[in-house]
């Protein structure tokens, strides 16, 4: 694996839009070329070399590893649209890290700001700290959010995580999030997302969920009134075939959505076991 | 007795709230060029006309701050100083625009594009969440005339028109007699959903007290009940299941229903998701009867600001031009978030007073950097501004176009001349654009 090392010289005062920092853009370039890459600082176009000390070289995209050091909390869009290779960020990072990423891996050894892994299409995003709001969510007005890949957050995630997530069994796309704890409106408008919360979760988890599964291993502040309790289960089968064991209470929903309502038998009131949304909360 | 020469202007559009009443009569003293009487207007609108009269509060000449004190200067000097601030900035913010006419707003977009600035209007602190929800799930809207002539069930959810839009009830929603609602108030059933027993709630037929910040759960329960789902809960957001069932029956039985929602839905926890759910509820109610909803917009031309920004850039608010093309992301490019994170290095405020309305942390950062204010009279924002450009009141001292809350454009009228050297917002922005272009060498 070839390493390219970037070190932030000084924390920028205004946000630096570093969507240029991806293995795709660095491949086949030497240090001098990489230093000349352009990015936006406010409305000014600046060179990457002005803000970072750079060393290393890259030849093949899947063999490229970018290591970034420094307080990057004001550096946005690192790894946007990347399709392969690896980025390791040692420090806090700004908004949109790994947004719309298609492949490869990003590891953040610190906290990430809002929109981390927004509309992820593939690959893996690992955050070893907390993440902001809208992790893996769809951008404003999009009806299809995260479509594939995995996001792992060790700490807590903010509100509206994985909004409009869009998985598909026939398409073998299973977008997945594993997080320490979650804010409000987890998986809102979910269409087939898999969400596992190791700790607690705030209000309105799975609001407007059509398909998918949300597993909360801790407590939930409040369950939405439109969720219907099914019963206690000892084992959960997730949409991607994985199995989880442990005592959970199974809920079906969100039944305020038309597509889920049709899953309730009109005569008997029984809830169909087929593909409507599920919420599992530790018993 | 002093003899007065009076001129009366009829059919004046009131430039105060989103209701944009268009039947005001204003008496003007010709000699002193001041408003002496306003008829048909509500308390708030009338006061706005009187506030345009010359007083100690009005700016008559441009001002520049020197050694911590404002001093009056010529237009040329003030515009030069303002253009200097804007051209030097790496990330300027242009904010306000909701209390001025569309032509000025369009000039604001032009200036933002030239500067590569961030452009925002007051929707980002009021009905911005409604716009976000509309982008997510669409919206069944209509013009106010439809509600006036047809609505037999009116819901005010988190809005208090008795105080915020005083003539809305009389002109469009409650007491007014419509073509199919000949008996006025008696032909309508009024429901108010609010945590507080407001004056609107006190004149309603049914008042539902919801717990603060729990509107989402209540709408969610109504939606599920409407689908015929038996809920597990006995009570949702402080409202019993029986009451929810009763409410759902009412909603289904009406001929034409409407939800007017205000800041109680958009600016409580869950923000745009409240509206998202309310829109979905309205959409689903159309399986049973005719149902629409309408945001109760505050500033008289905030709808216009959204319209003008949208037809110019594609987005209604929170627009970033730093890359040369418009980008949109409330939360990233919205004024309050930018100011709290201290991500702007100068600001131009047009016809707005963020210092009175923004969180203290944001205002602190606003004052930290150079500030230009285009404002007719002294406000907490303009008092701390480095450059103050005195404006005429749009709709009182100059003409223009404004959009009513239901997106109907109306022509504002000029009833009197502006005092001193005041110019209209449009003229000021035009001059500023000229100066900025000159400095940029275009």
Task: Write out the two tokens for B143.
Answer: 């013009």
Lowest mean pLDDT among A25-34, A247-256, A268-277: A268-277
pLDDT confidence of residue A258: 73
State whether B203 and B316 are in the same domain. no
Structure tokens at A207: 């609001």
Helices (H), B353-424: 354-357, 360-368, 380-383
- Same domain as B262, residue B115: no
CA distance A82 to A67: 15
Q: Which chain A residues are closer than 8 Å to B136 by Cβ?
A: 140-141, 143, 164, 189
Report residue A259's pLDDT band, with 50, 70 and 90 as the boundaries.
low
In sequence order, what E strands does A226-265 have? 228-237, 243-252
Cβ–Cβ of A185/B230 closer than 8 Å? Answer: no
pLDDT at A256 over 90: no
Task: Calculate what percentage of chain A has a pLDDT beyond 90.
Answer: 79
> Given 3-state DSSP classes, what are the helix, strand and coil percentages for chain B, each rounded to the nearest 5?
40, 25, 40
Q: How many interchain CB pairs under 8 A, A with B?
A: 104
A14–B90 CB contact, under 8 Å: yes
A261 pLDDT higher than 70: no
Same domain flag for B272 and B178: yes
Interface residues from chain A to B (CB-CB < 8 Å): 13-15, 17, 40-44, 95, 114-115, 133-134, 139-141, 143, 160, 164, 184-185, 188-189, 203-204, 207-208, 222, 224-229, 254-256, 258, 261, 264, 266, 269
Chain A residues within an 8 Å CB radius of B232: 225, 227-229
Q: A225, A261, A270, A281: which to substitute to probe chain B, counting the most B Cβ within 10 Å?
A: A225
Same domain, B146 and B101: no
Question: From the candidates B224, B325, B368, which should be mutated to test the interface with A, based on the most A CB atoms within 10 A?
Answer: B224
Task: Let me know if residue B407 belongs to a domain.
Answer: no
Q: Do A229 and B280 touch (CB under 8 A)?
A: no
Q: What pLDDT is stored for residue A141 in this prediction?
A: 87
**Predicted pLDDT of residue A108:** 97
Planar angle of CA A131, A132, A136, nearest 5 degrees: 80
Chain B residue nearest residue A164, CA to CA: B136
- pLDDT mean over A69-80: 95
In a domain, A254, yes or no: no
Range of the domain at A31: 2-226
Q: Locate the DSSP E strands across B130-254.
A: 153-157, 189-194, 206-209, 235-236, 239-240
What total number of domains does chain B contain?
A: 2
Cis peptide bond upstream of A254, omega within 30: yes
Query: Is this complex scored with an ipTM above 0.85?
Result: yes
Query: Which CATH number belongs to the domain containing residue B241 in this structure?
Result: 3.40.228.10
Model pLDDT for residues B278-298, shown as the tens digit of each residue = 999 999 999 999 999 999 999
Work out the minimum CA distance from A191 to partner chain B, whole angstroms.
14
A40 contacts B323? CB cut-off 8 A: yes
Residue B200 dihedral angles phi and psi, to the nearest 5°: -65, -40
Kindly state whether residues B133 and B80 are assigned to the same domain.
no
Answer whether A161's CB lies under 8 Å from A176's CB.
Answer: no
The total number of structural domains in chain A stands at: 1
Same domain, B282 and B324: no
CA distance B348 to B368: 13
B250 falls within a domain: yes
**CB-CB neighbors (< 8 A) of B231 in chain A:** 225-226
Model confidence band, residue A270 (pLDDT cutoffs 50, 70, 90):
confident
The two beta strands, A105-108 and A44-47, are: unpaired
Average per-residue pLDDT for chain A: 91
User: Which of B137, B229, B241, B283 is the mutation pick for testing A, counting most A CBs within 10 A?
Assistant: B229
Residues B258 and B285 in one domain: yes
Residues B333 and B363 in one domain: yes
- Which of B131, B132, B273 has the most A C-beta neighbours within 10 Å, making it the best mutation to test the interface with A? B273
Of B230, B231, B322, the CB nearest to A42: B322
Residue A156 has pLDDT above 90, yes or no: yes
B441 pLDDT exceeds 90? no
Residues B111 and B136 in one domain: no
Average pLDDT over residues B71-88: 96
Contact B281, B252 (CB under 8 A): no
Range of the domain at B331: 63-125+300-398+419-440
Q: What is the mean pLDDT of residues A49-69?
A: 88
Q: What is the pLDDT, as a whole number, of residue B54?
A: 86
Read off the pLDDT of each residue in B360-371 and give the average, rounded to a whole number: 96
Please say if the pLDDT value at position A274 is more than 70.
no
Note whether residue B195 is domain-resident.
yes
**pLDDT attached to residue B4:** 80
- With an 8 Å Cβ cutoff, are A43 and B116 in contact? yes
- Residue A22 pLDDT exceeds 90: yes
- B2 falls in which pLDDT band (50, 70, 90)? low
Residues B74, B160, single domain; the answer is no
Percent of chain B with pLDDT over 70: 100
Q: B373 CB contacts (<8 Å, ≥6 apart)?
A: B348, B349, B379, B381, B382, B385, B387, B388, B389
Q: Do B269 and B369 belong to one domain? A: no
At residue A273, the pLDDT reads: 62
Shared domain for B290 and B307, answered yes or no, is no
- CA proximity to B129, closest of B384, B318, B400: B318
> Which of B117, B227, B231 is opposite residue A261, by nearest beta carbon?
B227
CA distance B324 to chain A (A): 8
What distances in angstroms separate CA B304 from CA A84, B317, B407, B413, one per listed residue?
A: 45, 11, 7, 16
Predicted confidence (pLDDT) per residue in A213-234, tens digit: 999 999 999 999 999 898 999 9
Which residues of B have a CB under 8 Å from any CB of A?
90-91, 115-117, 132, 135-136, 216-217, 220-221, 223-224, 227-233, 236, 269-270, 273, 276-277, 280, 284, 321-323, 328-332, 343, 345
The pLDDT score that the predictor gives to residue A276 is 79
Residue A233, in any domain of the structure: no
Q: Where are the alpha helices (DSSP H) in B189-297?
A: 199-202, 215-226, 241-253, 263-266, 271-285
In a domain, A174, yes or no: yes
| DSSP class of B16 | S
pLDDT tens digits, B338-357:
999 999 999 999 999 999 99
User: Using one digit for the tens of pLDDT, what is the confidence trace for B121-146?
Assistant: 999 999 999 999 999 999 999 999 99
Q: Average pLDDT over chain B, rounded to whole?
A: 94
What is the arithmetic mean of pLDDT over A242-262?
A: 85
pLDDT of residue B257: 96
Which pLDDT value is given to residue B301?
95
Listed residues B233, B262, B295: the one ending a domain: B295
**pLDDT at residue B264 greater than cutoff 80:** yes
Region A168-187: mean pLDDT is 94
Q: Using CA of residue B108, residue B109, residue B110, residue B113, what is the dihedral sign?
A: positive
Average pLDDT over residues B189-216: 96
CB contact under 8 A, B273 and A160: yes
């Amino acid at each position: 694996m070839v390493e390219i090392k970037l070190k932030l010289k000084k924390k920028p005062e205004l946000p630096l839009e570093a969507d240029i920092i991806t293995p795709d853009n660095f491949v086949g370039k030497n240090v001098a070329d990489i230093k000349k890459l352009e990015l936006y600082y406010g409305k000014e176009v600046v060179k990457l070399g002005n803000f970072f000390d750079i060393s290393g070289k890259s030849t093949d995209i899947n063999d490229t590893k970018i290591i970034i050091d420094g307080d990057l909390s004001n550096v946005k869009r690192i790894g946007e649209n990347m399709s392969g290779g690896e980025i390791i960020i040692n420090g806090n990072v700004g908004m949109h890290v790994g947004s719309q990423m298609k492949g490869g891996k990003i590891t953040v050894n610190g906290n990430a700001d809002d929109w981390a892994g927004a509309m992820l299409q593939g690959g893996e995003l690992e955050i070893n700290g907390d993440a902001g709001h809208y992790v893996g969510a769809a951008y404003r007005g999009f009806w299809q959010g995260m479509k594939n890949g995995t996001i792992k957050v060790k700490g807590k995630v903010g509100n509206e995580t994985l909004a409009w997530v869009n998985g598909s069994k026939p398409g073998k796309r299973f977008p997945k999030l594993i997080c320490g704890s979650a804010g409000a409106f987890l998986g809102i408008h979910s269409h087939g997302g898999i969400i596992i919360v190791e700790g607690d979760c705030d209000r309105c988890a799975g609001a407007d969920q059509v398909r998918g599964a949300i597993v909360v291993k801790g407590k939930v502040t409040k369950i939405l009134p439109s969720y219907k309790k099914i019963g206690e289960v000892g084992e959960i089968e997730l949409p991607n075939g994985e199995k989880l064991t442990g005592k959970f209470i199974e809920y079906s929903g969100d039944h305020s959505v038309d597509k889920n309502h049709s899953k309730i038998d009109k005569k008997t009131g029984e809830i169909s076991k087929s593909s409507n949304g599920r919420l599992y909360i530790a018993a | 007795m002093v003899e007065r020469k009076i001129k009366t202007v009829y059919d004046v559009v009131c430039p105060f709230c989103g209701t944009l009443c268009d039947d005001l009569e204003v008496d003007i003293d010709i000699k002193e060029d001041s408003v002496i009487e306003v008829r048909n207007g509500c308390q708030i609108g009338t006061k706005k006309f009187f506030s345009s009269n010359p007083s100690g509060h009005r700016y008559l000449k441009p001002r520049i701050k020197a050694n911590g004190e404002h001093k009056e200067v010529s237009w040329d000097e003030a515009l030069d100083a303002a253009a200097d601030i804007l051209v030097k900035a790496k990330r300027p913010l242009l904010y306000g625009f909701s209390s001025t006419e569309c032509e000025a707003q369009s000039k604001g977009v032009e200036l933002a594009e030239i500067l590569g600035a961030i452009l925002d209007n007051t929707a980002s602190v009021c009905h911005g969440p409604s716009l976000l929800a509309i982008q997510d799930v669409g919206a069944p809207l209509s013009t106010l005339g439809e509600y006036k002539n047809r609505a037999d069930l009116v819901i005010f959810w988190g809005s208090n028109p008795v105080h915020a839009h005083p003539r809305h009830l009389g002109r469009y929603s409650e007491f007014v007699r419509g073509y199919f609602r000949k008996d006025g108030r008696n032909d309508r059933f009024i429901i108010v959903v609010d945590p507080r027993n407001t004056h609107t709630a006190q004149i309603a037929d049914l008042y539902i007290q919801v717990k603060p910040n729990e509107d989402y759960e209540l709408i969610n329960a109504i939606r599920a009940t409407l689908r015929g789902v038996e809920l597990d809960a006995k009570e949702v957001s402080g409202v019993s299941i029986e009451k929810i069932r009763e409410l759902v029956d009412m909603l289904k039985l009406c001929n034409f229903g409407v939800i007017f929602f205000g800041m109680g839905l958009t600016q409580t926890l869950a923000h745009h998701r409240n509206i998202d759910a309310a829109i979905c509820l309205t959409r689903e109610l159309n399986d049973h009867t005719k149902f629409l909803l309408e945001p109760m917009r505050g500033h008289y031309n905030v709808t216009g600001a959204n319209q003008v920004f949208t037809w110019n850039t594609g987005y209604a608010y929170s627009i970033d031009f730093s890359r040369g093309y418009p980008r949109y992301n409330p939360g990233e490019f919205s004024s309050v978030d930018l100011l709290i994170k201290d991500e702007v290095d100068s600001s131009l405020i047009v016809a707005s007073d963020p210092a009175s309305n923004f969180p203290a942390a944001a205002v602190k950062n606003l004052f930290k950097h150079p500030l230009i204010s285009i404002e007719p009279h002294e406000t907490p924002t303009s008092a701390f501004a480095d450059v103050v450009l005195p404006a005429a009141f749009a709709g009182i001292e100059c003409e223009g176009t404004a959009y009513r809350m239901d997106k109907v454009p109306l022509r504002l009228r000029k009833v009197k001349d502006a005092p001193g050297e005041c110019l209209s917002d449009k003229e000021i922005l035009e001059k500023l654009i000229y100066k900025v272009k000159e400095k940029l060498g275009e």
